[in-house]
Structure 1
């Protein structure tokens, strides 16, 4: 998916068990990359986009993701659009979804304390290796060596969409041009795939995305950094700084 993935297992498990769980997790993420990558010509997504694969013949995972993307298109008034760039690219949901599935599988396998970090989309469960709640730094949108706030919790899905690495790459699907107004959007909630899509949609909306985020029901929360350097955040956001 063109990004780095890290895994922190905090349970006191035998080394062999931890190694096996880590291998299963990375095998899953490699499987997702092979199926959904927009960089690999032989991926299912690229083959479907070129018309070489029919949707009815696609894998169950791809069909489920496309259905979810359609639901999210409706939920975001069309601002989360897997075809916003003119080609099929569900990455704005897939990265968070893949990490969420990995986290769910770790819980089911007996590792309830962990952190999965998929290129800044983070799913934490339970406690960190110190026994304290996890601390998740949200990158400062102008200083890559700093954070603009730190979130803490024991069951959080945290997704950030921003323009600080790839420029204004998120397309406003209504205008067909790169969106502007929001430098960084972080969405916190119970599901990382949905949080990822919501963050992408808000960036695509520009400044009107702030009011849209404010209308999301609990437990969804957010933090936004605007292009003119304002930091706005939900009152209930679990931030320490």
Structure 2
């Protein structure tokens, strides 16, 4: 089963290699992601996030409470560098929502019986039943890779400046974070990988050691001086890695 849709502002591709998994499982994945976009997008005036930001909600649901809890967890862990409530801006939990929602979608696939699958959301990947090979884009050259990682059961996410410019802000200063060119994190879940990558990028150069110290996380980073850093446990693909591939992720 293979399927691609444009959801939440980026392409989401799904590959499932289990023949017995029904097509309804893919329907559920994309329906969930569309629901997330409707409920949590800060760019939709009728979303829960926008209504909460305007003070229109007396109570919030369990999902939004969980997302806001994760935002606060990473805000505290980074001393405010990562912040869903930046000065002069409305509430924007997107840095947590993406990984959290795609990991939840992976759970739907697993519940439907999928054992070997890959879900790629705008370059951030959660996979099961690998090995899967995931390419990390070179920060200066769109057509080149600077690393190829191997996933069996887990996730990888990258925060970088090359697609959207200086869009990640250091909440401590209110200015764009420019200490890194790219930060790639592997973790057991995409909830962790995506949030840690963004939070580490917001921290700047100090984010490399911070991310590497997070339990279960491995790091591949390129700083503003184009120096490359990687942790010893980073799952770099070997020459004999399996056939599953996700080119150009990041």
The CA deviation at 1:159 is 1.1
The CA deviation at 1:107 is 0.9
Write out aligned runs for 1:143-158 (5 A): 143-158=141-156
- The count of aligned residue pairs is 230
Which whole-Å CA distance do the structure 2 matches of 1:173 and 1:92 have between them?
13
Match of 2:28 in 1: 24
Please state whether the residue corresponding to 1:207 is helix, strand or coil. helix
Please state whether the residue corresponding to 2:126 is helix, strand or coil. strand
The CA deviation at 1:72 is 2.2
The CA deviation at 1:153 is 2.1
Q: Does 1:94 align with 2:92?
A: no
CA shift digits 1:13-68 (9 cap, x unpaired): 26xx1x211111000000001011122221111121122223x2x22211221122
Runs of 4+ in structure 1 over 3 Å off? none
CA shift digits 1:88-108 (9 cap, x unpaired): 111111100111011112112
Q: Does 1:13 align with 2:27?
A: no
Does the aligned pair in 2 maintain the 1:80–1:198 contact within 8 Å? Answer: no
Does the aligned pair in 2 maintain the 1:76–1:198 contact within 8 Å? Answer: no
Which whole-Å CA distance do the structure 1 matches of 2:220 and 2:233 have between them?
10
Does the aligned pair in 2 maintain the 1:80–1:197 contact within 8 Å? Answer: no
Does the aligned pair in 1 maintain the 2:15–2:119 contact within 8 Å? Answer: yes
Write out aligned runs for 1:152-231 (5 A): 152-217=150-215, 219-231=216-228
Counterpart selection for 1:74 from 52, 73, 76: 76
Please state whether the residue corresponding to 1:63 is helix, strand or coil. helix
The CA deviation at 1:84 is 2.6
Which whole-Å CA distance do the structure 1 matches of 2:137 and 2:53 have between them?
33
The CA deviation at 1:166 is 1.1
Q: RMSD in angstroms over aligned alpha carbons?
A: 1.5
TM-score (normalised: structure 1): 0.90
The CA deviation at 1:3 is 1.4
Question: Which sits farther off after the overlay, 153-162 or 77-86?
Answer: 77-86
Which whole-Å CA distance do the structure 2 matches of 1:159 and 1:188 have between them?
7
Counterpart selection for 2:135 from 130, 134, 137: 137
Match of 2:114 in 1: 111
Which whole-Å CA distance do the structure 1 matches of 2:51 and 2:115 have between them?
37
Does the aligned pair in 1 maintain the 2:28–2:108 contact within 8 Å? Answer: no
Q: Which runs of 5+ in 1 are unaligned?
A: 128-132
Which whole-Å CA distance do the structure 1 matches of 2:176 and 2:142 have between them?
22
Counterpart selection for 2:67 from 60, 65, 69: 65
Which whole-Å CA distance do the structure 2 matches of 1:214 and 1:68 have between them?
19
Which whole-Å CA distance do the structure 2 matches of 1:6 and 1:180 have between them?
30
Q: Which runs of 5+ in 2 are unaligned?
A: 1-7, 239-250
Does the aligned pair in 1 maintain the 2:103–2:189 contact within 8 Å? Answer: yes
